[in-house]
Structure formats: C-alpha cells, structure tokens
Chains A and B, each alone.
Chain A
Amino acid sequence: MDGEIVRYKRDVWGEEVILGVSWDLLWVVATAILILLAAHAIIMAVLANRKMDKPSSEGRRVNRHHVVDRAFHWIMAVSVLVLIITGTAPILGWRIAWLNIHWIAGLVLTFVVIFHIIRAFFWQDFKSMLLGPRDFGEPFDSAKKPGKYSFEQKGMHWAMTVVVLAVIVTGVVLFLQIDTPFWDRTNSMPEDQLGLMFLLHGLSTLALIALTVTHIYFALRPEKLFYTRSMITGWISEDEMAANHDTSKWSPKEAE
C-alpha cells in the first residue's frame, strides 16, 4: 500500500478492481495543508509590522447575511464536520458506531444544500457570488475593492460547491449500497463501479478536509474575524464595509 493513491482489491472471481482511495493520502493532505497555512500565518505576521489600521466595528451597521443564510451556513458546517469525523473515525481506528451518524449527517447536508441552491437562484443576489475575469485582478490591485464577496470568498465558495456536490453525489450512490430503514441493499452494482464511487468519494473527502481546514483558518484570522461575526450576528460595520468593499458594487441596507 506504500505511497499509492488508489487501493485495489480482487473481485468475486479474483480479478483486480478499484477498492477506493489510499488513506495514506489523509496524512499527506493534512501535512500539506498545515504547512501552507503555517507559512501564510508567518507571512501575515511579518506584513503585520507595517501597521494598517483595523476598521472599527462601532457605529452604523449594515446587513451582510440574512438569518436564513446564517442558519444554512452553520447547519452545513456542523454536518460537514460530523461527516468528516465519522468518516475518518474507522480509518484512524476509533471504534465508534459511525455509519448511521454518517449517513444521517449526509442526508442533512444534502437537504440543506438543495435548499441553498434553490434559494440562491430565486431569492438571493446570485450575481454577487459570480466569479468573473475582473475578479482575478483584485488580489494584485489594492485600489480594487470587491462587491459583497471578495475574490477569496468567491473562490472558497465555488471550490466548496464543487467538492461538496462531489461528496454528496458519490455519498448518495454509496448510501444506496447499504441497508437502511428505508431499503435493503440490492447488491446490484458491479464491483468495479462500486470501487470507483468509493475512490471518488474518498478523493472529494480529502479535498473537502483541505478546504474546510483552510476555511476555518481564514475565518479565525484577526483581520477576517468580522466576517465570521457577521455569519453569526448578520451585520458588519460601515467602517468594515468601507475598508473592504466597493459600495458602488454593494450597497446593503442598514441594519436596524
């Protein structure tokens, strides 16, 4: 198993088929992401010497996240964390009855994601999350300021979208392969296809873990902490808005 990405097994007649991802990669991903973030932290610390004044959270407040979206975010966050923990438990050798929790959390995630997609299309300002070519200049031009969402935020959102949809789709397929209160497994899936699903589920899980760690890291960065606060309380201060956003592109209502 040393160093390989894909694990293989023998099917019922002894022919080699894909079994799933090699969980050695879990350690590779974990290490890689921690090194990257550590590096980022250090750089930021160095830059931090050149004092730039932190916008005040006092004063007038504007709405950033609707309560429904905040609820969605946190439900999603919890289910993802539960899925990651229960999913990696058997790999890390924790002997817990993880499977039921895992698929229940998976269902929750699936439903809230569907809800979010529908809401995003019809009730939210969908454009504000669109990632256009212009956005890519943003990081390199301090003059340029984003609308409601920064380039990084859009990137994180769309990366998350892809990865989460991947785990959900593969997860649902695998869900159909086990006995549940709703159905008995049919065993009708050819072993090679089943293995492929496990592989994709595993790979997308690894990506999800990487993104989640990154996301949490940035959410806790001092200069970004107000976004996290806004994901709880819903508002940011006008100072914060002015410092980080281009009001011509984003003019939220004042929070009462």
Chain B
Amino acid sequence: MVATSHDVMPDIELYQPTDEANALALARELGTNGWLLSGGQDTYGWLKDRAKRPGAMIELTRIDAWKGIRETADGIEIGAVTTLTEIAENPLLLSRYGLLAEAAGKVASPQIRNVGTLGGNLCQDTRCWYYRRGLDCYRAGGNLCYADSPEALNREHALFGASRCVAVSPSDTAPALVALDATMVISSASGQRTVDAEDFFIGPAQDILHMTVLRPGEILTAVRIPAAWANAEYYFEKVADRNVWDFALVNIAAAMKVSGGAIEEARMVCGAVECVPRRLRSVESAVRGMPRSEQTAEQVAALATEGARPLNYNHFKVPLMQNLVKRAVRG
C-alpha cells in the first residue's frame, strides 16, 4: 500500500440514535471502533484521507436532550450538539455571556458554524499539519514528533507544555469556556460525571493520544456556565492569517469582574499556544485590584509568556501573546 492521496469516504457504518440511552450504549459497545459524529466538520477529512479508520460513526445530533441553551438555577446549560451559529446568535448568551457568543462567531466560516457544534469545537483534534497529513507521529501512536526538530515548520505550534508533541489547541470556544469557569458534563452508559473546563483538556504529558479526558464510551453532552461570571467584562480576540476558515495563531479570552474602577477578579486564557487552553494565572493575580488601564497592561503583559519555549518559527507568538494580554487588560 502506498501513502498516496485519498479523497473518498471509505465504507463505514452509521448509527443515528434518537435517545440518550441508546447513544451511550452504542458508544460503550463500539468503544475505540466507534467515532462520535456531531457536526462532522473535523470528521470527514480524516475519513476521506483514510488517516483514521473507525468502523462506525455514531451521530449525536438527533438527541434533543443534548441540544439547546437553557437557564438553570446557577447559570446556563448548553447542549453539546448545539450549533455554533445558534450560540453566536443566542440572545441569552449575547446578553450575559457575550464572550462565548463572540468566540463561537469567530470559528471557521458561516456554513461550518451552521452545522458545527459546541461539543465538536471543543473536542476537535489538533491541526498540526504533520499529524493531519496522517503521519504516524506520537499523537497518532507513533514514536516521534516531526514538528519539534531543528528544521521543522512549526510556526503554528506550541510555546508551552510541550512533551514530545508540540501541537496546540485549535478551538476558539475552549478558551472562552475556561475563562467563564464552565463545567463539562460527561455522560456514559455507566453514568454521568462533571469536569471543570480547565481540566477537561489534557496535554501530551498526561496523554499524548488524546486532547480531552474523554474515555472510550464517554460523550460530552453539555456545558454549564456558572452565573458567577455572567455580565462580567469580557475580551475576546483571535489573530489568524485569514479572517475566514482559519485557526488562531493565538487567541485570547478574558473575563473580568470590575468594580470601583478596579479588577476584583479575572480569568484570562490563551488558545493556540499550548496543547490545552492556557490559563494566565500570573496575569490574573497580578491584575487583581488594579484598574483596567494602559499602565496595568504594560506591567502585566510580560508575565503571560514566562516559561515560553519557542520553536523554530513561532517566536512571534511571544510578543503576540503579550500584546493580546495588553489589549484584554486595557479594554
């Protein structure tokens, strides 16, 4: 067999469960041989390339329980298969959690947002081009990284948390949800568990094959955002080469509670600089009690990139990250 270029969907089974129990049972039964299909925007490429070969797809979008945006006692709950377009346009989100709505509106292109779901955007695989080419690198179960070597083309890769693999988190909504201190609801045939958004994503040191804590048989079914961060002051920005159909070179999501001109509490997160959305804890604590001003911005920006380990081509992400932090703090 030759590693030639493929472009056609190979034979693969499809299940379209309409109720939760059925879907979870299928997920358990199929295990790693099953592929969770939501909007499919990070599915068909893998399959057409024949780079990943699941035996069956389980479509999650027919389960109403996992759709929609509901108010709850302490905040809101968003079904994981709610489309990004719905999230970007939802009045409730726009009024209280504009950060997430804005982030969702920045994803890819209109047509992709029309079918792409929140769950899909959170669970999507990394865009490292070596990995996407179907190479058997660490992340694909291999034994080396093609992107972290003396001559590799790694402009889009990680500044932090690299462990053999230097791929980064591709999601725009993930940093927003970490900034909003969201909780992920994970269901499986054996029950339900919840995980903080921050802990939902895992780096290569913990598990080089997966980007989330999801185990075979588990499904991300909902995301809960606490009221605590409703109507905070938000800042989101995505810097990419193109304004459509592109992944962030760096993106930032910040939520700040400001009173009396001073920042009481802040959560700041950068995407595309590490395998997981990176919390800027040192910045968060440094801005506490300070005003949202140019001076504060200048003082704290450098903290954001402490410990950065640039690769061949991504040094620019260091000043870019600092600048984005400045913009977030400055407001």
Contacts and interface: CB of A to CB of B under 8 A. Distances in A.
Interface of A: 9-14, 19-20, 90, 95-100, 177-179, 184-187, 191, 194-195, 198
Interface in B119-164: 135-136, 141-146, 148-150, 152, 162-164
A1 to B, nearest CB: 10
B206 interface: yes
Mostly, the B contact residues are loop
Contacts of B149: 185-187
A192 to B, nearest CB: 11
Nearest to B215: A93
Interface residue range, chain B: 20 to 34
A97 B206 contact: yes
21 contacts: A9-B141, A12-B135, A12-B146, A14-B1, A14-B2, A14-B3, A19-B142, A19-B143, A20-B143, A95-B207, A95-B213, A97-B206, A99-B163, A99-B164, A100-B205, A177-B144, A184-B150, A185-B148, A186-B150, A194-B144, A198-B143
Contacts of B148: 179, 185, 187
A148 B82 CA distance: 74
Given A19-B142, A187-B150, A10 B136 contact: yes
Given A9-B142, A12-B135, A13-B3, 19 more contacts: A10-B135, A14-B2, A14-B3, A19-B141, A19-B142, A19-B143, A20-B143, A95-B206, A96-B206, A99-B163, A99-B205, A177-B144, A179-B148, A179-B162, A187-B144, A187-B146, A187-B148, A191-B144, A194-B143
B208 interface: yes
Nearest to A186: B150
B204 to A, nearest CB: 9
A184 B152 CA distance: 13
Nearest to B205: A97
B159 to A, nearest CB: 14
A25 B266 CA distance: 50
B130 to A, nearest CB: 9
Contact of A97 (B135, B141, B145, B163): B163
A97 to B, nearest CB: 4
